[in-house]
Amino acid sequence: MTSIVGRTPATATKLTVDLGPRSYDIHVGEGLLAVAGRHLAPVLAQPRVVVVSDDAVAPIYLPTLEAALADEAIEATSVVLAAGESTKDFGHLQELTEKLLAACIERGTTIVALGGGVVGDIAGFAAAITLRGLPFVQIPTTLLAQVDSSIGGKTGINTGVGKNLIGAFHQPRRVLTDIATLETLPRRQLLAGYAEVVKYGLIGDAEFFAWLEDNAARLLNGDAAARRHAVITCCAAKAAIVADDEREAGRRSLLNLGHTFAHALEAQTGYGEALPHGEAVAVGLVLAFNLSVRLGLCSSADAERVRRHLAAAGLPADVQQLADTSWSADDLIAHMERDKKVKDGKLTFVLAHGIGRSFISREVNRDEVGAFLKDVLGA
Ligand code: NAD
Ligand code: GLY
């Protein structure tokens, strides 16, 4: 472990999320955790932070982060939550906010989220609502969080009714992305994040998708240059979209490619370890392309290329790989109708004219999706 976090830090690449007074930088590099204090100090209102992490990440990375903060005379306390999607709920939010208050935080105390998307989402939401808003920074340690959830200020928790339905937009002050932390990430979680990487190619960057077809194995097997290229490409794409449409009035919805299906699949499986978010996204991406083919919008050759690439990477790409025999198209549609992508009774989908040519459709007919899912599920 020491060899990873103790590595001499490489130069960080800096990207900016341009949001006027709420603008912030993303620093991407290897070994940055060991010098986190130096990267965070300029954005702290006071030299005091509370680090929020989970019980899988904290044993590996919290000591390094605490030492790096101490190097810059930044006082740090920590709250460690149970790892896993089920932590993103009201009970854990209450526990976290009460622990923050018990730590005698002040309005200038910064919350530092150290972990994957679960920690980032709940810690960010706690920061948004505690004392009516605390500053926070993200230190993402999963591929999914590094390319997606740490950027853009969406924070929140799940409820029994649906995913991420309670939350707030609350932008971080800085995102510190140490790619070396991916070296300890379990393969299944790495792959789950890879689905979100592929998403960026499918949304608007066919060249990046082609690069992934050639370089996925290198990236997934630990090649640092490939990882750096992919993470920076995705962060740049997300930063541009968020800068253009912070509150998801339009273009930001493109980031939901595959997610209308994915959230229904996650709701159906109960938000547990059985189906990580990224695996649901992989299946959702294939479903979104296949629905686009069915609606006469996209070639079947492109949809097959997407399916083949995700499957070759080792991700589930067919809904049959997940489906319980008791599932029905009506169950999935019912989940979609409760998702926030429903407006005036119409389902909003991100569909595609081809790889790198996704678009938002707010007029997808419920019955057409139902018939599509019946065919896919055979039920
Ligand atoms: P996660 O946070 O549950 O992390 C996955 C697992 O990996 C956890 O067990 C965690 O403890 C462990 N882990 C994390 N980093 C590690 C490391 N470096 N080494 C070893 N183990 C490590 O899951 P995730 O995939 O990062 O995030 C999924 C969540 O992100 C979902 O709740 C999803 O809704 C959310 N999300 C949010 C946004 C957003 O914009 N806010 C975008 C996409 C996804
Ligand atoms: N991951 C979706 C978004 O940030 O908008």
CATH number at residue 358: 1.20.1090.10
239 and 265 both lie in a single domain: yes
Residue 3 maps to a domain: no
DSSP assignment of 52-67: EEETTTHHHHHHHHHH
261 and 167 both lie in a single domain: no
Last residue of a domain, one of 167, 184, 201: 184
In the residue annotation, 256 being an active-site residue is answered as yes
150 and 203 both lie in a single domain: no
Residue 341 has what pLDDT? 62
Q: Check residues 158 and 346 and name the one with the higher pLDDT.
A: 158
Overall domain count for the chain: 2
Kindly give the distance from the C-alpha atom of residue 72 to the centroid of ligand 2, in angstroms, as a whole number. 33
275 and 307 both lie in a single domain: yes
CB-based burial of residue 21 (10 Å sphere; 0-12 exposed, 13-18 middle, 19+ buried)? Answer: exposed
What is the Cβ-side half-sphere exposure of residue 253, based on CA atoms within 13 angstroms?
A: 16
CB-based burial of residue 211 (10 Å sphere; 0-12 exposed, 13-18 middle, 19+ buried)? Answer: middle
340 and 253 both lie in a single domain: yes
Kindly give the distance from the C-alpha atom of residue 252 to the centroid of ligand 2, in angstroms, as a whole number. 7
CA angle (352, 355, 358) in 5-degree steps: 30
Residue 23 has what pLDDT? 98
Residue 159 has what pLDDT? 87
Mean pLDDT value across residues 298-320: 96
225 and 206 both lie in a single domain: yes
Residue 1 maps to a domain: no
In the residue annotation, 341 being an active-site residue is answered as no
Task: Decide: 139 in ligand 1 pocket, CB within 6 A.
Answer: no
Reported as a single tens digit per residue, the pLDDT across 180-210 is: 999 999 999 999 999 999 999 999 999 999 9
Last residue of a domain, one of 156, 184, 212: 184
Residue 215 maps to a domain: yes
In the residue annotation, 259 being an active-site residue is answered as yes
49 and 121 both lie in a single domain: yes
Residue 5 maps to a domain: no
The DSSP letter of residue 114 is E
91 and 222 both lie in a single domain: no
Residue 21 maps to a domain: yes
Nearest to 140 by CA among 273, 36, 11, 294: 36
CB-based burial of residue 361 (10 Å sphere; 0-12 exposed, 13-18 middle, 19+ buried)? Answer: middle
Reported as type and span, the H/E element at residue 196 is: helix 187-204
Q: Could you give the CA distance from residue 308 to residue 74 in angstroms, rounded to a whole number?
A: 48
Mutate-to-test residue for ligand 2 from 142, 149, 197, 235, highest number of ligand atoms within 8 A of CB: 149
Last residue of a domain, one of 184, 201, 218: 184
25 and 144 both lie in a single domain: yes
Q: Could you give the CA distance from residue 250 to residue 360 in angstroms, rounded to a whole number?
A: 8
**Ligand 2 atom nearest to 148, measured from its CA:** 1
> What residues are paired with 114 via a beta bridge?
139
Reported as a single tens digit per residue, the pLDDT across 269-302 is: 877 778 899 999 999 999 999 999 999 999 999 9
pLDDT band at residue 4 using 50, 70 and 90 as cut-offs: very low
Kindly give the distance from the C-alpha atom of residue 340 to the centroid of ligand 2, in angstroms, as a whole number. 13
Residue 316 maps to a domain: yes
Enter the tokens of residue 132: 């009516």
User: What residues make up the domain containing 365?
Assistant: 193-377
291 and 340 both lie in a single domain: yes
**Ligand 1 atom nearest to 276, measured from its CA:** 25
Enter the tokens of residue 350: 């991100």
175 and 204 both lie in a single domain: no
289 and 148 both lie in a single domain: no
Q: Assign residue 112 the CATH number of its domain.
A: 3.40.50.1970
Per-chain mean pLDDT for the chain: 93
